[in-house]
Structure 1
Amino acid sequence: MFDITVNILKEYFTVYTIDTRGHGNSSPVSELHYNEMAEDIYSFIHKLELDKPILYGFSDGGIIGLLLSIKYPNLLSTLIISGVNTNPNGLQKKWLILFKIIYKFKKTKEYKLMLEEPNITIDMLHKITIPTYITVGSKDVIRKEHTNFIHNNISNSHLKVFDNEDHGSYIINSDKIAKYLLEILIMKHQKK
C-alpha cells in the first residue's frame, strides 16, 4: 500500500512504518480509540529514543499525529498529514450517512471509531505550533471546508490540495505523496 513512498524515502531517510493497534500485523483489540493509538506512537518514539522525528500520517495516522502534537508539543519537529478530520462531521455528508447505514448492519470497531471519533476542538488545534503540512485530494471524503478549518486553526500550517485525487489515490500505490514529502524534507534539511 505504501511501498512506493517508503522505497523512495528510505533512500534518503530512516523510515519507520507502524501498524497501529488493531491494524496490519499488530495485535487485535476489542476497541479502537485514537488517543490510545497516539499513546502507542508516543511510546514507540521514546523507546527508540528518536529526537524530534518528522511524523507523516495518512487518514487515521494523520489524526494520531494531530493528537500527538496537541498532547506533546515538543515531541515532533514537523507534522505532515493527509486526509484528516477533527470530528466525524468532517466527512462529506453522503459518506457519513453511508457509514452510519453500514454500521447498522456491520458493527465493527473501525466503523464505530469513524462515527464517534476524533473529537479535536478548535482550542486543541491552536496548541499545535510545529510546522504542519496538510494535504487533501480535491475529491476527498473529507469536506473542503473542514480541511480549511484545520489549516486556518494551526498557526504554522501549509495546505496542498492534490487536484483530481480522492482520499487515497495520491498516496496508495502512488509516488505523488512521496515526491511532495521529499520536497518538504529536503527543504527542511537545507535549513539546518
Structure 2
Amino acid sequence: MYSLIAGVASLGTAMAEPRWEMLPETPELPAAGREGEAPVNGIKIWHAVYGSGEPVLMLHGGLGNSNYWGNQISTLAGSYQVIVMDSRGHGRSTRDDRPYSYDLMATDVVALMDFLKLPKAVIVGWSDGAIIGLKLAIDHPERVSRVFAFAANSKPSGLHNLNDSVLFKTYVDRTREEYEKLSPTPRGYDDFHEEMKQMWNAQPDLAEEALGNIHVPVWVVDGDHEEVVRREDTLFLSDSIPGSGLLIQPEVSHFSLLQDPEQFTDHILHFLGRE
C-alpha cells in the first residue's frame, strides 16, 4: 500500500483555540460559468460548473451543501473543470419519496454526469461524498478516473458516537440554518435530518471484498483530529483498496476543508498530479 503522512505543521503558531476544534464560516461559492437544476433520476439536482480541463466532481458531506467547497473551487478551476452538486434533498436539490441510500445517491451522480455529457471524472468527496465516491469506484469504475476520499467510513460501526461531539452539533445547527435558506422545502429539516440518521445507522456496507475490487487510483484521507470516523476504520479502507494512498492531514478534524483550506486544496492538487 502506498502511504503518505503529511508533515507536522510549524509549532509556535499562537491560536486562541486549536483549529481542529473550530468550525469556520461556510464560504460562499464563486460566480459560476454556468449553474442550474438538472432534471435527472426523477429529481432536480442543483449543480455549478467552473473552469475547463479534466472534470473534477466534488461531493459534499451529509446535511451540507456545495457551498462547503467554496474555498477550494477557484484554485482548482484554474487547471480543471470543477463541478459541484447538491446531493438529493440537500441544499438546493429536490428529492422524491425513496429513502436515502448511498447507492441511490451514486446513481444521481452518474445521471448528472450523463446530463453534462461527462464520460468520466475525478471524484473529490468529503464524508458522505467520499463514501459515494468509493461506491462509484466499485459499481461504476468506467465513470471514475480516481477518487480523493476524505473522512469516509466503511460501516456504521466505523463512526464515533456523534452525540458526544460538540463540533458536530455545531455543524448540525448550522446546516439547519443553511437548509432553511437554500432548500425548496425549507421547513423540512427535522424530517430530513431524521432520515439521514436512519441511513447512517444502517449504511454504508463497504466490504473488504468489494473494496479489493477497486482498481482506480484512490487516496484515503482524514484529519489527525478526526472526531466522527474511527481511525481503525480509515485504516481498514486504505488497507483494503489495492494500491491506495493514505494521507493523514495535520492539525485538522472532520471539517479540514474549512479549518485549513489551503492545505486541503494543496493535497487535492498533489493528488491530481500523481502519476
Please confirm whether the aligned pair reaches a TM-score higher than 0.5, indicating the same fold. Answer: yes
1:10 aligns with 2:10: no
Paired with 2:111 and 2:266, the residues of 1 have a C-alpha distance of: 29
Alignment match of 1:43 (pick from 84, 102, 111): 111
1:121 paired with 2:207, answer: yes
Matched residues, percent identical?
A: 27
**Counterparts of 2:94 and 2:143 in 1: how far apart (Å)?**
25
Distance 2:247 2:75 in 1: 20
Q: How does 1:6-85 map to 2 (within 5 A)?
A: 6-30=73-97, 31-85=99-153
Q: How many Å apart are 1:29 and its aligned residue?
A: 4.4
Query: Unaligned 5+ residue runs, structure 2?
Result: 1-67, 169-189
Partner-residue secondary structure (3-state), 2:235: helix
CA shift, 1:72, in A, is 1.3
Higher percent of residues as helix = 1
> TM-score, normalising length from structure 1?
0.86
Gap change, CA 1:156 and 1:74, over 3 Å in 2: farther
Deviation, structure 1 residue 60: 0.6
Q: In the TM superposition, what is the alpha-carbon distance from 1:52 to its structure 2 partner?
A: 2.4
Q: 1:73 offset after TM fit, Å?
A: 2.0
Q: Which amino acid aligns with 2:94?
A: S
Cα distance in 2, alignment partners of residues 161 and 123 from structure 1: 24
Q: Secondary structure at the match of 2:85?
A: coil
* TM-score, length of structure 2 as denominator length: 0.61
Contact 1:126 1:154 in 2 (8 A): yes
Q: Distance in 1 between matches of 2:122 and 2:109?
A: 12
Q: Which one has a larger percent strand, Structure 1 or Structure 2? A: 2
Q: How many residues align?
A: 182
1:184 matched to 2:271: yes
**Structure 1 residues 145, 96: CA separation in 2 closer, same or farther (over 3 Å shift)?**
farther
Matched, 1:137 2:205: no
Residue 102 of structure 1 corresponds to: none
Q: After superposition, give the CA deviation of every residue in 1:111-161 in whole Å (9 maximum; x if it has no partner).
A: 111111111111111111110011101111211111010000000210100
Higher CA-based Rg: 2
Per-residue displacement from partner, 1:24-82 (whole Å, max 9, x unpaired)?
A: 11014453111100000011122322232111010010010111111112221111110
Residue identity in the other structure for 1:120:
L
Residues 89 and 96 in structure 1, CA contact (< 8 A), matched pair in contact too = no
2:119 match: secondary structure: coil
1:90 aligned residue: 158
Q: CA RMSD in A?
A: 2.2
**Shift in Å, 1:18:** 0.8
Partners in 2 of 1:28 and 1:52 — Cα distance? 25
